Amino acid sequence: MSARDALARRLARRLAHRLAIGAPLAWLALFFVAPALVLLKISFSVSVLGQPPYEPRFDLSAGFAAFLESLRGLSLDSYALILQDDLYLHALLGSLRVAGLSTALALLIAYPLALAMAHAPRSWRPALILLAVAPFWTSFLIRVYAWIMILKDEGLLNRALAASGLLDAPLRLFATEGAVVIGVAYAYLPFAILPIYNALDRQDRTLVEAARDLGASRLRAFWSVAFPLSLPGVFAGALLVFIPACGEVVIPDLLGGPETWMLGRAIWNDFFANRDWPAASAAAALLLLAILAPLIAFERAQMREEESA
Amino acid sequence: MSAPSAARLGPAGMCVLALGFAFIYAPILLIVVYSFNASKLVTVWGGFSLRWYPALLENRQLLDSAFMSLKVALASGALATLLGGLAGLALARRGSRGRSALAALVYAPLVMPEAMIGLALLLLFVALGVERGFLTIVIAHATLGMCFVALVVAARMKTFDASLREAAMDLGAGPFTAFRTITLPLIAPALVAGFLLAFTISLDDVVLATFASGPGATTLPMRIYSQMRLGVTPEINAVSTLILCSAAALAGAALILARILRHGAR
């Protein structure tokens, strides 16, 4: 092999590496980072009637001096608006409340199921995992639609209850926050089951057996040994449900009532109905903050755990 | 880990399994059952009938949007597999420049709310003066899909021995030959899984599509969503049942394909 061949090969190799990292990086810069910057820019603009319905407040194409000048004219109007307007406070609190309640409900259903899965005979487990994940591969919309059918005033649940004579007047469930909580917990249940199952499956069973040998009851052995060891899985599951739940648009729209107000829905409404793009952008920035806080907390907790380990 | 732990599932555990999976599958089953309902009122059983299915074939709008969804899912799935595959390879290679930036950019869209990603993309398209339609939906779906593909491919690369590739290069294979004969067959199952994941996400998405689409392009979920907002109808049940059947068929095909590829790789 001549030196020239080796050089050509090194160059080809380097080119391949550059391409592997450069192409996806460029794509994400163009279609994820740039849009986020445009969104931030518009959130600092003033809403006007027209097309597009905002007045840009700074423009990088006009040079650096012009940019500095425009910084002075930067508008916090839309942030002032969304902070003063009760609607956004409601939306923020609504998002956090619905996300919190549905996360709790999902964990309450997922934990016993994951526990039973982890104790099932080994030969069943691949099938059980497949059964738990399969709904994720079916349509999200369809799974939410099922709950409209079930929870409506003249829906399947109320008909069943009336037929069994348990109830005279229908339960008012549809178009309430409760319906949204059920819908979100149901839709994101697979995300809660898997991390809990993994945490339970991976733990050293001899620890529980040791506790039993030392005289602990089954419940006590679970509560003081197996449960604490599964907590990292519970946190991961909680995060995987809480985060998408915060920004959920479709479920509150289909299952919630007019008083169920969440940030995702506020963005949607500001954008499509009110055509207030700066307010929608500011609401999106607010939503991002609501999501970043638990993420950073989780990151910190994990770091601490790694340090202590 | 051993035999005694396997036999622990008592009657209570069996009950929990049965109840849990009933909760997961009963709502889906109800949709299918009530799609064969003769009554126009979805929640009142009026006897068995297939009447809602032929009606779907005459619904031009629905068929058009289903065709549009398939085109978008195929195009965005292919694009996501290409970009996400490259990203996965780059993420698995330690010490390459720009790797940590790429990692951050791949994870970020996975935790951002779709409403935010969609709104931001739309604002970019408007700022650039791009006309919205088929192409912009494909871009939006490919952007989200490639992040999932990258994770799947990077996870597969972790289990694979880098010395195999180096051995091939030592034996005189160029980087492209080494990639084609060693790396590609090894990551093929991950690429197939990633493509199917991106394809499914695209077929299912309504939020990104609504933000990214223009007047001419309506996907199936967008069409179904707007009908669902008006209430429950037997037609929606029938469409949903067909979608569930195709999802099950696709998942079955994926499982078989994955098994074939896994045996082929050995």
- The string of pLDDT tens digits covering residues B3-58 is 344 446 788 899 999 999 999 999 999 999 999 998 888 888 888 988 889 988 88
User: CA-to-CA distance for A124 and A119, rounded, in angstroms?
Assistant: 10
Least confident range from A23-27, A162-166, A244-248, A294-298: namely A294-298
Nearest to A264 among B43, B98, B115 (CB): B115
Q: How far is B5 from chain A (nearest CA, A)?
A: 7
Tokens of B80: 């996501």
pLDDT band for A53, please (50, 70, 90 cuts): low
B147 vs B264, higher pLDDT = B147
Query: How far does Cα B127 stand from its chain's mean position?
Result: 29
* Residue A277 confidence (pLDDT) above 90: no
Which amino acid, A117?
A: M
- Asked whether residue B22 is assigned to any structural domain, the reply reads no
Q: How many domains does the structure of chain B reveal?
A: 1
pLDDT band for B255, please (50, 70, 90 cuts): confident
Least confident range from A89-93, B90-94, B167-171: namely B167-171
- Asked whether residue B202 is assigned to any structural domain, the reply reads yes
pLDDT tens readout for residues B70-87: 999 999 999 999 999 999
- Asked whether residue B35 is assigned to any structural domain, the reply reads no
Nearest to A291 among B31, B42, B113 (CB): B113
Best of B1, B37, B123 to disrupt the A interface by mutation (most A CBs within 10 Å)? B123
Nearest to B175 among A16, A141, A152 (CB): A16
HSE value, Cβ hemisphere, 13 Å, CA-based, for B7: 3
- Is the backbone of residue A174 left (phi > 0), alpha (psi -120 to 50) or beta? beta
Residues of B in contact with A22 (CB under 8 A): 98
Tokens of A242: 């809480």
pLDDT band for A49, please (50, 70, 90 cuts): low
CB pairs under 8 A between A and B: 240
Cβ–Cβ contact A253 with B under 8 A? yes
B94 vs B183, higher pLDDT = B183
The answer to whether the Cβ–Cβ distance between A39 and B123 falls below 8 Å is yes
- Asked whether residue B6 is assigned to any structural domain, the reply reads no
User: CA-to-CA distance for A271 and A249, rounded, in angstroms?
Assistant: 13
- Name the average pLDDT for chain A: 84
One DSSP character per residue, A103-132 reads HHHHHHHHHHHHHHHHHS-GGGHHHHHHHH
Nearest to B13 among A119, A204, A246 (CB): A119
User: CA-to-CA distance for B100 and B95, rounded, in angstroms?
Assistant: 9
Q: What is the pLDDT of residue B6?
A: 42
pLDDT tens readout for residues A58-76: 455 555 665 555 555 566 7
Q: What is the DSSP letter of A55?
A: E
The answer to whether the Cβ–Cβ distance between A267 and B119 falls below 8 Å is yes
Domain CATH number, residue B185 = 1.10.3720.10
* Residue A27 confidence (pLDDT) above 90: yes
- Asked whether residue B111 is assigned to any structural domain, the reply reads yes
- Name the average pLDDT for chain B: 87
A75 vs A248, higher pLDDT = A248
* Residue A299 confidence (pLDDT) above 80: no
- Asked whether residue B50 is assigned to any structural domain, the reply reads no
Cβ–Cβ contact A80 with B under 8 A? no
pLDDT band for B117, please (50, 70, 90 cuts): very high
Predicted complex: ipTM over 0.85: yes
* Residue A44 confidence (pLDDT) above 70: yes
Residue boundaries of the structural domains of chain A: 3-77, 82-308
Chain B CA closest to residue A147: B27
- Asked whether residue B179 is assigned to any structural domain, the reply reads yes
Residue A54's H or E segment, with its range, is strand A54-55
The answer to whether the Cβ–Cβ distance between A24 and B90 falls below 8 Å is yes
What value does the mean pLDDT take over residues B56-66?
A: 90
CATH fold group of domain A82-308: MetI-like fold (1.10.3720)
Q: What is the pLDDT of residue B1?
A: 39
Q: What is the pLDDT of residue A294?
A: 76
User: Do A280 and B123 meet the contact criterion of CB atoms below 8 Å apart?
Assistant: no
Backbone dihedral angles phi then psi of residue A59, each to the nearest 5 degrees: -140, 115
pLDDT band for B185, please (50, 70, 90 cuts): confident
pLDDT band for A81, please (50, 70, 90 cuts): confident
User: CA-to-CA distance for A229 and B4, rounded, in angstroms?
Assistant: 20
Chain A CA closest to residue B80: A24
Least confident range from A82-96, A218-232, B147-161: namely A82-96
- Is the backbone of residue A165 left (phi > 0), alpha (psi -120 to 50) or beta? left
The answer to whether the Cβ–Cβ distance between B93 and A9 falls below 8 Å is no
User: Do B143 and B118 meet the contact criterion of CB atoms below 8 Å apart?
Assistant: no
Best of B116, B124, B169 to disrupt the A interface by mutation (most A CBs within 10 Å)? B116
- Asked whether residue B237 is assigned to any structural domain, the reply reads yes
Residues of B in contact with A119 (CB under 8 A): 5, 8-9, 13
* Structural domain that includes position B234: 59-265
